[in-house]
Amino acid sequence: MSTITANWKKLLPSGVVVAACIVLPMVMEIGTNILNLMVMLFIFIILSQSWNLMGGYTGQINLGLAAFFGCGVLATHFLWKAEVPIYLAVLAGGVATMVLAVIIGLPTLRLRGVYFAIGTLAFAEVLRIVVGNIFTTWVKMPGSYVATYSLLPRYYLGLVIALIAIAVVYFVTNSKLGLAMVAVRDDEEAAQVTGVNTFKYKVLTLLISAFLAGLGGGVYAFYRLSFYTMSQVFSPLWTFEPVMAVMIGGAGTLLGPIIGSFFLVILSEIFALKLGEAHLIIFGILFILVVLYFPYGLVGSVDQVRQVMARVSRSRLWKAIH
Amino acid sequence: MEDVIQAIASGILVGALYALIAYGLGLIMGIMKFLNVAHGSLLILGGYVSYWIFTLWGINPYLSIPLVIIATFLAGLILYKLTLSPLLKLPDIEMRVANSLLITFGVIYVLDNAMALIWTPNSRSIMASYSGEAINIFGVKLSLTGLCGLGIAILVAVALYFILSKTYLGKHVRAATQDAEAASLCGVNVQRTYLISCGIAVALAGVAGVIVVSSYSITPGGGLSWLLIGIVVMVLAGEGNINAILPAGIILGLVESASIFVVGAPYRQAVALVIFIIVLMFRPQGLFTKKRTDVYYNS
Amino acid sequence: MLEISNIDVCYGDLQALWDVSLTVGGGEIVTLVGSNGAGKSTIMKAISGLLKPKTGSISFEGICVNKLPAHRIAELGISMVPEGRRLFPQMSVLENLEVGASAREAKKARHNTISWIYELFPILRARARQRAVTLSGGEQQMLAIGRALMSQPRLLLIDEMSLGLAPLLVQEISQVIKDINKSRKLTIFLVEQDVNMALSMADRGYIIEHGRIQSEGAARAFLCNERIKEAYLGISPVEKAG
């Protein structure tokens, strides 16, 4: 807590933004378009923070994020249908996803790099096929839910969970677990040799990541109500787009996924209006360019520029002294 | 009993197609240690090229294979030059692999959307005169397209074996795989070797796509399921073990066929993936290699 | 034939060579000696193209090579026997040799060259179809040298040939090298920790320490030089005192 009060100047802009997000819809009439966008933005922030925890901090590429998201959607949907209050249902969705994470994690976490990625991808696909075969028709909510539908509760639920996700990632990465995660990313063998139980930390990270993704799924279940094809929420797009958000914004940072999600959701709307279908292709190309040439994303590039400038001024100083 | 024999026969034919899909994947994985996740989408691309040629000029898909090969070979060269070769400059192997996953994931996104734009999201398939036809041997139905697939798969297996063991290109490829720096000291242009290998790998994906579009159907987003099949076969064969791909594919085909009796057709794909997960857990070096397992595990 | 002028070489941020210059004349055997980590292998990597110098230039027969990729340098006529041999483990002896002849001209002449290599190192003919990883240390070194010779180089670089080899074997191999130098006028630049062996083979020598060239001179002169003998050739304190 002391770090927060110490850095209050840096936190002020974010504080203002958050306050605006909380207060504005209460006092103003915000159009449904913007509210819809904001809900999707919050969901993407949650999902990208979730993936970032594993991919950005631990260096483990989880290509099965959609499985966690979908699981959260499923669990929350049916619990809520069964008259469980929505906040509890969403929470339970997160917990259910953690159970799934244990099932998926135990076989795959021992695997190295590529094979972990393939394993998680395979699991997600299995889930998608199975779910698609079980739920072959509309999965609907009773009419009463539809009648009382209003966007504002969705907005606030999304906002709250997004803030929780950011807070969780912040506290985890600044804790002992966070150090272990970075150690695993940088050189897992070295970490193991120095006595770090890397497997335990990888499991923990997976559980937290899954929990957050499940919460995100819960928000989506609350938002969407009904699903034409249930398997759609297990589609690899739900893995890929958060990954894009993380990489474009900057992996391994707190701000990166937020900026990336903003980019993806908001700017994508703007581009879609102007460019139509092609805007997806442009985002894909942008993503590839970022991974190739700006591996630290937008956030990191600012940092990189700062570092380069620091190096330059240091050397001038050095030359001036000598 | 007849059902069993039919299942075996169909399993072999399907398995040959599965092997064909895995060749391109296995090449890139074995040589450059990259997983080309976009392989499935490139397969679909090959299918679309064949479909286009068929629709525009009425050329039989199997005859159009040379054209498809040229088109997809070029695509492979472009893929390598633009997205994979910059990765080779990275010093850390883990980073290279991770980035290759991300980048090829991005290529899927770009390619799938581009194909949807050009050819619309509707599913396409080539209905030629022989499309549903099958020949009958001792009461066992063997689909014509399946037999073509088997024939092509055998051809590819033999060709790859020959190229890799007898030609200089093959020796360059194997040398670059085993020690890239030493190879360049010997005068091998490693970058160009990788480039050509990538072209060949994507061309193989394209050929598989021709079989797929004439036996089944293709949609812009359908690459992922074919990719997963290719990955399963590749892992069953063992990383870098090109010669084991055909037998591995056939085994997968047979197992899938058998599973229809147990779980029913809709879960066929899921069965393949579950087998895959089991193999990953207990025998990640594949069914055919005796190699040490530490490449795959962390502890 | 080979001229290195004022090169600095770095591994990332770590500088390994400072302002290094040396020359190797046609037909000579020149050696570079120094202790572990002094920079010997770094120079070899810079010449063969695996590392690029930050400043300075390397020219071979008048052509500036420090910007060329390694395989181009190999095509120009420089061949290296790398430290640790770096054979292709799963390929046979014959295949290793064949890959060595990858440059176009060498490829055409490879059958003759292979026969020549088998004359130099008869054991390789016996093991022709065996995988390189199954060979003994000495045989692997012979194969590595043979592979480097397949491209008919005009300059042969040898990096730490004696590492892990029995002294008798080292003698044998160095004799073969000396013979090739005489009979084929093959210029040789070798880098060695075994100072005795290196200086007895070479015409001229350089000494490198901490990334800088310390001395240069005729090999025989080094062998007689008291300071050098003390630093590298292991004169015991008793001898020194008495």
Mean pLDDT of chain B: 86
Contact flag A118-B235 (C-beta cutoff 8 Å):
yes
Q: Is the per-residue pLDDT at C52 higher than 80?
A: yes
Q: Compute chain C's Rg from CA coordinates.
A: 18
Identify the pLDDT of residue C95.
Answer: 93
Segment B187-202 mean pLDDT: 93
Check if the beta carbon of residue A212 is closer than 8 Å to that of residue A53. Answer: yes
- In chain B, residues with a C-beta closer than 8 Å to the C-beta of C103 are 187
Does an H or E element contain C191, and which?
Answer: strand C187-192
Answer yes or no: do C95 and B178 touch at CB < 8 A. Answer: no
- Judged against a pLDDT cut of 80, whether residue B163 lies above it is answered with yes
Residue A55 structure tokens: 């991919």
Which segment of B189-198, B285-294, C132-141 scores lowest on mean pLDDT? B285-294
DSSP B220-279: TTTHHHHHHHHHHHHHHH-TT-GGGHHHHHHHHHHHHHHHHHHH-GGGHHHHHHHHHHHH
Q: For residue A144, give the H/E element and its range.
A: helix A143-147
pLDDT in tens, C166-217: 888 898 899 999 999 988 889 999 998 888 888 888 899 988 888 888 888 8
Report if residue B12 sits inside a domain. no
Residue B262 has pLDDT above 90, yes or no: no
What is residue A305's predicted lDDT score, i.e. its pLDDT?
66
Nearest Cα to Cα of residue C73 among C88, C59, C91, C57: C59
Closest CA relative to residue C93, chosen from C142, C141, C143:
C143
Per-residue model confidence (pLDDT) at position B299: 37
**Do the chains contact at A292 and B299, CB–CB below 8 Å?**
no
Q: What is the DSSP letter of A230?
A: G
* B69-115 pLDDT tens trace: 999 999 999 999 988 888 887 777 777 888 888 889 889 989 988 88
Is B242 contained in some domain? no
Nearest-neighbour CA in chain C from B217: distance (Å) = 41
| Both tokens assigned to B119 | 């050819």
Domain extents in chain A: 1-30, 32-321
Determine the distance from the C-alpha atom of residue C80 to the mean position of all C-alpha atoms in its chain, rounded to a whole number. Answer: 6
Give domain status of residue B90, yes or no: yes
Closest to B41 (Cα-Cα) out of B228, B222, B217, B230: B222
Q: How many other β-carbons are positioned within 10 Å of the β-carbon of residue A147?
A: 7
Domain for residue B195, yes or no?
A: yes
What H or E segment, with its residue span, contains residue C21? strand C14-24
Q: What angle do CA B86, A114, B43 make, to 5 degrees?
A: 70
Q: How confident is the model at residue B131 (pLDDT cuts 50, 70, 90)?
A: low
User: How would you classify the pairing of strands C29-33 and C204-209?
Assistant: parallel
Give the domain extent around B35: 23-221
pLDDT of residue C242: 46
Question: The tokens of C52 are what?
Answer: 């690029």
* A284 at B interface, C-beta within 8 A: yes
Nearest to B255 by CA among B27, B5, B12: B12
For the stretch B7-36, what's the b/e string if a residue is b when 16 or more beta carbons lie within 10 angstroms of its beta carbon?
A: bebbbbbbbbbbbbbbbbbbbbbbbbbbbb
Q: B213 lies in a domain?
A: yes
Spell out which residues of chain B touch residue C49, defining contact as CB-CB under 8 Å.
184
- Locate all alpha helices (DSSP H) within chain B, ordered by sequence: 2-32, 39-57, 65-79, 93-119, 144-166, 168-178, 180-185, 190-215, 223-237, 245-263, 268-282
Helix (H) or strand (E) holding A21: helix A8-27
Residue numbers in A near B269 (CB within 8 A): 125, 129
pLDDT of residue C227: 67
> In chain C, which among 9-48 make CB contacts under 8 A with chain B?
48
Chains C and B touch (3+ CB pairs under 8 A): yes
Mean pLDDT, rounded, for B140-167: 89
Q: How big is the B-C interface in CB pairs under 8 Å?
A: 74
Confidence at residue A314, expressed as pLDDT on a 0 to 100 scale: 65
Q: What value does the mean pLDDT of chain C take?
A: 86
Q: How many domains does one find in chain B?
A: 1
CB contact under 8 A, A119 and B109: no
C132 touches chain B (CB under 8 A): no
For residue B160, being part of any structural domain is answered with yes
Q: Confirm if B225 and A125 have CB atoms less than 8 A apart.
A: yes
What Rg, from alpha-carbon coordinates, does chain A have? 21
Structure tokens at A281: 């292709």
* Cα-based angle B84, B87, B91 (whole degrees, multiple of 5): 155
**Quick check: B282 contacting A, CB < 8 Å?**
no
Which residues 162-201 of A have a C-beta within 8 angstroms of B? 188, 192, 198-199
pLDDT of residue A55: 84
Reduce the DSSP state of residue C228 to 3 states and report it.
helix
Render each residue's pLDDT in chain A as its tens digit; 322 residues. Answer: 555 555 676 678 888 888 888 888 787 887 888 888 899 999 999 999 999 998 887 778 899 999 999 999 999 999 988 888 888 999 999 999 999 999 988 888 888 778 888 889 989 988 998 898 888 888 888 777 788 888 888 889 999 999 999 999 988 888 877 777 777 777 776 777 777 677 888 888 899 999 999 999 999 999 998 888 888 899 988 998 999 899 888 887 888 899 889 988 887 788 777 777 677 888 888 888 888 887 766 666 666 666 666 666 666 665 666 5
Average pLDDT (B187-201) is 93
- Chain C residue with the nearest C-alpha to that of B189: C71
Q: How far is B165 from chain C (nearest CA, A)?
A: 9
Using alpha carbons only, what angle is made at residue B48 by residues B47 and B49, rounded to the nearest 5 degrees?
90
From the list B172, B178, B181, the residue facing C50 with the nearest CB is: B181
**Per residue in B282-295, pLDDT tens?**
877 778 776 544 45
Report yes or no: B267 at the A interface, CB cutoff 8 Å.
yes
Phi, psi of A252, deg, nearest 5: 75, 10
What pLDDT, on the 0 to 100 scale, is given for residue B293? 44
CATH code for the part of the protein at A32-321: 1.10.3470
B178 falls within a domain: yes
For residue B35, the distance in angstroms to the closest alpha carbon of chain C comes to: 23
CA dihedral sign of residues B251, B253, B254, B259: positive
C-beta neighbour count of A112 within 10 angstroms: 18
Q: Is residue B25 predicted with pLDDT exceeding 90?
A: yes
Tell me: pLDDT of B277 over 90. no
Minimum distance, in Å, between the CA of residue A117 and any CA atom of chain B: 8
Whether B298 sits inside 8 A of A188 (CB atoms) is yes
Can you tell me whether residue A276 is helix, strand or coil?
coil
Predicted TM-score (pTM) of this structure: 0.86
Residues on chain B touching A287 (C-beta within 8 angstroms): 102, 106, 109
